[in-house]
Structure 1
Amino acid sequence: MTVLSLSSDLPDELSEDVVRRLVQVFYVRARADAVLGPIFEKHVGHRWEAHLSALVDFWSSVALMSGRYSGKPHLAHVPLGLAPEHFERWLRLFEETVPEVCQGPAAAFLVDRAHRIADSLQIGLGIGSKALRLPAKTVADAS
């Protein structure tokens, strides 16, 4: 039985430099965005450089499996009051930015991961079309 390294399945074009450039270019745009910018400013504007560094580590872990990120992104997004529209905007900006940083399989890989992240966060936050909707408990259910 042959066991392949997960990293061997990654596009050759992906590198720490690509991840760093993507995060820097994308989050300049996200901060300047009329919808997303105020959220970033309110919650991380006072510590932007540290947040950007954490985002580079996060995307390095997602894209290159570096394991550098050890935070809890779901918990970090809970107090932000996000709605599905915020994720749609984030994804649109991301999809517009990726081709400026990389092309081909690497670009497709990063966009796919962004969609998975958006889905996962929305599920975790209980918003959007993929959120788990459990029936409300009633008094009769408790007996």
Structure 2
Amino acid sequence: MIEERSALTVDITGRTGVDARMTTRLVHGFYAQVRAGALLGPVFDAHIRDWDAHLARMCAFWSSVALMSGDYHGNPMGRHPHLPVDARHFDRWLALFEASAAALCPPVAAAHFVERARRIAQSLELGIASRHGVRLGRGQRFHRDAVVPASEGVQQ
């Protein structure tokens, strides 16, 4: 299994140029933008006490996502459903991620990261919507202000 994972990582690096150093640079650059932002900064600051530990965890996460390294062992969905976020937050998160990737990575590597970030954002948005009793159809987005209390029905 370790040999297979290593072979995947070597293949991905060869095709995209993504490596651990680039992943670390992207994570740190991206989160600097997140922390400085008016929409996302307060959400993250309210929930993250140790930014060094968070950044290390995010480097491991993105290494696993982008390089198939297996460095991350956690449950992203389990950490996000309670956050006060919706489509606006995910759109901003993606815009910052895409801008950071474009600024810090060669085009092929940026595309590799961004494709994965889009899937992650979609998955987390679906999970958060579900946590609020909202079932999103294809192309629908989660908007917290449209959530109807359970006694009145569910957002369609």
TM-score by length of 1: 0.81
What is the rounded CA distance, in whole Å, between the counterparts of 1:20 and 1:109 in structure 2?
15
Counterpart contact for 2:12–2:18, Cα < 8 Å: no
* 1:20 matched residue in structure 2: 24
Counterpart contact for 1:54–1:69, Cα < 8 Å: yes
* 2:125 matched residue in structure 1: 122
What is the rounded CA distance, in whole Å, between the counterparts of 1:114 and 1:108 in structure 2?
10
* 1:39 matched residue in structure 2: 43
Counterpart contact for 1:98–1:107, Cα < 8 Å: yes
For residue 116 of structure 1, what is the amino acid of its counterpart?
Answer: R
1:104 paired to 2:107: yes
What is the SS of the residue equivalent to 2:73? coil
Rg larger for:
1
The correspondence for 2:79, drawn from 70, 76, 81, is 76
* 2:116 matched residue in structure 1: 113
1:29 paired to 2:33: yes
- What is the Cα deviation at residue 12 of structure 1? 3.8
- What is the Cα deviation at residue 103 of structure 1? 1.5
Structure 1 stretches lacking a partner, 5+ long: 132-143
What is the SS of the residue equivalent to 1:126? helix
Runs of 4+ in 1 over 3 A off after TM superposition: none
1:93 paired to 2:107: no
How many corresponding residue pairs? 127
What is the rounded CA distance, in whole Å, between the counterparts of 1:86 and 1:26 in structure 2?
15
What is the rounded CA distance, in whole Å, between the counterparts of 1:9 and 1:31 in structure 2?
30
Structure 2 stretches lacking a partner, 5+ long: 1-6, 131-135, 143-156
* 1:139 matched residue in structure 2: none
Q: Percent identity?
A: 43
Cα RMSD after superposing both structures = 1.9
Counterpart contact for 2:43–2:84, Cα < 8 Å: no
Higher relative contact order (CA 8 A, sep 6+): 1
